[in-house]
Amino acid sequence: MSKSELIFGLHAAESLIESAPHRFIEIFCLKGRNDDRLNKIISIARKHGISIQFTQRKTLDDKAKGEQHQGIVARVQPTPALTENDLDAILKQSNKPAFLLILDGVTDPHNIGACLRTADAAGVDAVIVPKDKSGSLTAVAKKVACGAAEVVPFIQVTNLARTLRDIQQQGVWVVGTAGEATQTLYQAKLTGPMALVMGAEGSGMRRLTRETCDELISIPMSGSVSSLNVSVATGVTLFEMVRQRQAAK
């Protein structure tokens, strides 16, 4: 594992410095920028003795590799990698029915970040991805997640189908989304311990993942397009699950 990683953007930096200031190694800020949120981050950093460098925009642009950095880039200690063992602990410690989001083959960091942000808003316990053929928690994903990457466990598993079978044995109902499913998310019962599986755009879930699901559902499409962006579809489905879970209380 790398000894450090970069994060950028006000949301990501603010969330991390409030929750884990000890992880910061150094901060690069845009010289001459006067912004309340940036000033707040700088103030907290100074209290913790974190090195701060004020620099030109090009330096920040180069570090962020062209992504929008909002005037701040930070070098931090890497996010601890979470595995199957951490998932078991999360499920055992939860005092409410399990609520999991599984992304099968979603590789775009913008989509991963957006899914993390939605998962946080919906109260999801953890986001699970396969180690292979899936995106990871990159600086871009963290920026798009707007701080959610620091609070929602992001678990990378070696064998996704095996992980699905393991959580099924713990009483979690696994629901996958597929365009050809015979029932929609509004017809399905989506309460109790549940894991939602979202596949990659275009190809959808892999065959073994699909076969392991307990149930398949679809989002009804009334317009001319055949599918939604995966992060939008995730939001639609998660919040129908939230609605049903709250109504069932």
Instruction: Give binding residues for S-adenosyl-L-methionine as ranges.
Output: 199, 219, 228
204's CB contacts (< 8 A; 6+ apart) are 177, 178, 179, 210
**Which residues of the chain form beta strands (DSSP E)?**
5-8, 24-30, 51-55, 72-76, 99-104, 126-130, 154-157, 173-177, 194-199, 215-217
Count of beta carbons in the 10 Å neighbourhood of residue 233: 19
Q: Which residues pair with 189 in a beta bridge?
A: none
Alpha-carbon Rg for the chain in angstroms: 19
CA distance 148 to 221: 29
Q: Which amino acid is at 156?
A: Q
| The residue to which tokens 């598993």 are assigned | 157
Contacts of 13 (CB under 8 A, 6+ apart): 7, 27, 41, 72, 74
CA distances from 104 to 36, 77, 148, 205 (A): 39, 27, 19, 6
Pick out the residues of the known binding site.
Answer: 199, 219, 228
By CB atoms closer than 10 A (0-12, 13-18, 19+), residue 140 is: buried
Distance, in Å, from the CA atom of 94 to the CA atom of 91, rounded to the nearest integer, reads 5
